[in-house]
């Protein structure tokens, strides 16, 4: 069993906290097929090239046909690929159709095993990203059904959770146990997947995996989630004046009626809503109301910044990437400030942002930093697209994506862009420090190269620690520089943002590892700028500089 998370700023991700891929050309009739293999599992995790002839068939049919031909490569039994279940099928601005498939075996989902495939406008399959679990027909543990009942599995998980927290959690919601196939190392096991939501004794959304035959706790991780019921007041859209945490004046979108003004912005998507937890631990709390329509009091600062910065982050993703809120469908952005008493944390709960006030020593109000808010909202984008699981490599990539877009949003608005995270709100009495530096991860004792990655079990396998590897690659891609004797030509923040956004939303899958990330980023740059472009070369060089090639 894993030990408790050592990082205090965590999230569903929350704020605080590859040797070379094996590549070979496929030995069939594809014109330029390259297969990237995960050396740890010997399984393909990214295939690129002109993988099929041009076709008028539906994109999903093209993908299924390809997988059927490649069943031996993927370690699947005959016709096993046809069990895969379509999750989504979307056409992007480049005319490519992205098909995502969930691996199924005998009607049971294989946890985290998702393929993301791309078919171009000519009906040619150009890539398949993701790793599937091979040889399931030979797994002895799957030949019998579940011995344990769902109720017993739930009791075992709750007992483990109580021991972990040192007191019984006050459960707000419990997801119905789902039978899944879970990979425990290299062993496929039939397991119950359970989910528990609670705010006391500390906020949590723990996912547990209980062996359905032995009752053993196989794995768990914390990914916060809390549903929110919106309260939408009637009134007139207005713009009010306010002062942020750092004393800067801001214009605030509100809804005004005879009661006063509410922190509700109806000009963006389905709205931006800011709530007050009043130093309690219930979210969302109370919708923020200012009876005199004046947001200049010191207590208002956290709410003003949370509200305005959420709008700025919404605008960045819409302008730069044509994404309408985190789900691409205009979802409401919900924030709660003044959470807890002296709470040194901020987190994306699964449906909203939550910000503590800090204790004045480690942190001031965490909503007072644009890059922190952009970081949290990028977790929402990751959740809605790649679904990166919050442990090991995929968790570190989850954290890194949030850091990268945190600094890119900050740069978009010229809010002291410096390729650091949280510098505005961490240790107010110490000048020049930050939670993390993307320019120099070692300044915070974090690895700047894949060979130096953390390999232990703390921090759910180093999700905050190893995020610095991709962070450094992104910094080099945008700014250029020489790292470990590899020179990188910088391409600027705009192109870096476009490449990482496409990588995240189109190619990453729940269990993405660093090597798959590198291949995905190269493919995203190829889509955008061409295979022989300087941008593709810079992407390759940036990842090579951090030990991934």
Exposed / middle / buried, residue 530 (Cβ in 10 Å: 0-12, 13-18, 19+): exposed
Same domain? For 323 and 400 the reply is no
Q: For the chain, how many structural domains are there in total?
A: 2
- Domain of residue 304 covers 237-384
Same domain? For 483 and 359 the reply is no
Q: Tens of pLDDT along 339-360?
A: 999 999 898 887 899 999 999 9
Q: Residue 312: which CATH number?
A: 3.10.170.10
In a domain, residue 299? The reply is yes
Model confidence, pTM:
0.88
Same domain? For 354 and 484 the reply is no
Same domain? For 486 and 515 the reply is yes
In a domain, residue 257? The reply is yes
In a domain, residue 65? The reply is no
Same domain? For 269 and 339 the reply is yes
- Using pLDDT thresholds of 50, 70 and 90, give the confidence band for residue 231: low
What local confidence, expressed as pLDDT, does residue 50 receive? Answer: 95
β-sheet bridge partners, residue 36: 23, 46
Same domain? For 398 and 525 the reply is yes
What local confidence, expressed as pLDDT, does residue 490 receive? Answer: 98
Q: Of 362, 384, 406, which one is at a domain's C-terminal end?
A: 384
Same domain? For 379 and 431 the reply is no
Same domain? For 338 and 431 the reply is no
What local confidence, expressed as pLDDT, does residue 307 receive? Answer: 98
Same domain? For 260 and 405 the reply is no
Mean pLDDT of 50-57: 95
β-sheet bridge partners, residue 404: none
C-alpha span between 234 and 257 (Å, rounded): 7
C-alpha span between 546 and 528 (Å, rounded): 23
Tokens coding 328: 């691409």
In a domain, residue 431? The reply is yes
What local confidence, expressed as pLDDT, does residue 153 receive? Answer: 95
What local confidence, expressed as pLDDT, does residue 415 receive? Answer: 66
Tokens coding 362: 């480690």
Q: Tens of pLDDT along 81-138?
A: 999 999 999 999 999 999 999 999 999 999 999 999 999 999 999 999 999 999 999 9
Sheet containing strand 260-262, edge to edge, reads: 236-243, 249-257, 260-262, 289-290
What local confidence, expressed as pLDDT, does residue 39 receive? Answer: 79
Contact 290, 233 (CB under 8 A): no
Catalytic one among 33, 80, 131, 376? 376
Same domain? For 349 and 438 the reply is no
Active-site annotation holds for 131: no
In a domain, residue 508? The reply is yes
Catalytic one among 207, 379, 464, 483? 464
What local confidence, expressed as pLDDT, does residue 350 receive? Answer: 78
In a domain, residue 205? The reply is no
Q: Of 384, 406, 432, which one is at a domain's C-terminal end?
A: 384
Residue 315 burial (CB count, 10 A): 14
Same domain? For 442 and 530 the reply is yes
Q: Tens of pLDDT along 235-293?
A: 999 999 999 999 999 999 999 999 999 999 999 999 999 999 999 988 899 999 999 99
Q: Residue 492: which CATH number?
A: 1.10.390.10
Q: 339: which residues sit within 8 A by CB, 6+ positions away? A: 277, 279, 280, 281, 283, 285, 354, 355, 356, 357
Q: Is pLDDT of 25 > 70?
A: no
- DSSP label at residue 295: B
Same domain? For 244 and 379 the reply is yes
Active-site annotation holds for 376: yes
In a domain, residue 148? The reply is no
In a domain, residue 174? The reply is no
Contact 353, 370 (CB under 8 A): no
């Amino acid at each position: 069993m894993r030990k408790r998370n050592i990082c205090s700023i965590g999230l569903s991700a929350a704020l605080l906290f590859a040797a070379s891929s094996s590549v070979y050309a496929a030995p069939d009739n594809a014109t330029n097929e390259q297969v990237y293999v995960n050396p740890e599992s010997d399984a393909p995790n990214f295939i690129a090239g002109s993988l099929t002839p041009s076709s008028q068939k539906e994109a999903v049919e093209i993908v299924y046909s390809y997988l059927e031909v490649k069943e031996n490569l993927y370690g699947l039994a005959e016709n096993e690929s046809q069990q895969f279940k379509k999750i989504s099928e979307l056409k992007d601005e480049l005319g490519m159709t992205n098909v995502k498939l969930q691996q199924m075996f005998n009607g049971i989902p294989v946890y985290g095993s998702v393929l993301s495939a791309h078919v171009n406008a000519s009906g040619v399959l150009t890539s398949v990203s993701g790793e599937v679990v091979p040889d399931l027909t030979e797994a002895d543990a799957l030949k019998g059904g579940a011995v344990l009942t769902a109720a017993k599995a739930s009791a075992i998980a709750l007992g483990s959770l109580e021991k972990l927290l040192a007191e019984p959690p006050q459960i707000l919601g419990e997801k119905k146990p789902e039978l899944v196939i879970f990979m425990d190392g290299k062993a496929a096991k039939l397991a119950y997947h359970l989910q528990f939501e609670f705010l006391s004794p500390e906020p949590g959304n723990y996912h547990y995996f209980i062996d359905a035959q032995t009752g053993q706790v196989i794995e768990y991780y914390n990914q916060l989630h809390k549903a929110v019921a919106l309260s939408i007041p009637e009134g007139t859209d207005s713009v009010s004046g306010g002062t942020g945490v750092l004393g800067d004046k801001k214009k605030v979108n509100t809804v005004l009626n005879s009661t006063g003004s509410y922190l509700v912005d109806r000009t963006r998507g389905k709205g931006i809503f800011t709530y007050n937890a009043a130093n309690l631990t219930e979210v969302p709390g109370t919708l923020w109301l200012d009876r005199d329509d004046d947001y200049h009091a010191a207590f208002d600062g956290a709410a003003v910044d949370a509200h305005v910065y959420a709008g700025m982050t919404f605008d960045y993703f819409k302008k730069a990437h044509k994404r309408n809120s985190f789900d691409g469908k205009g979802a409401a952005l919900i924030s709660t400030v003044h959470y807890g008493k002296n709470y040194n944390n901020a987190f994306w709960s699964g449906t909203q942002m939550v910000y503590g006030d800090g204790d004045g020593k480690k942190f001031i109000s965490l909503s007072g930093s644009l890059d922190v808010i952009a970081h949290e909202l990028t977790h929402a984008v990751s959740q809605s697209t790649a679904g990166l699981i919050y442990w090991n490599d995929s968790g570190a990539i989850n954290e890194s994506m949030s850091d990268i877009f945190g600094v890119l949003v900050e740069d978009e608005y010229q809010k002291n862009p410096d390729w650091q995270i949280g510098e505005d709100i961490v240790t107010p009495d110490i000048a020049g420090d930050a939670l993390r530096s993307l320019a120099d991860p070692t300044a915070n004792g974090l690895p700047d190269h894949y060979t130096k990655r953390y390999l232990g079990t703390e921090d759910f396998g180093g999700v905050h620690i190893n995020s610095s590897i991709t962070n450094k690659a992104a910094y080099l891609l945008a700014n250029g520089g020489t790292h470990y004797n590899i020179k990188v030509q910088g391409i600027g923040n705009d192109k870096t943002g476009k490449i990482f956004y496409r990588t995240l939303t189109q190619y990453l899958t729940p269990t993405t590892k660093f090597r798959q990330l590198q291949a995905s980023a190269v493919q995203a740059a190829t889509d955008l700028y061409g295979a022989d472009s300087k941008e593709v070369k810079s992407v390759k060089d940036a990842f090579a500089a951090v030990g991934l090639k």
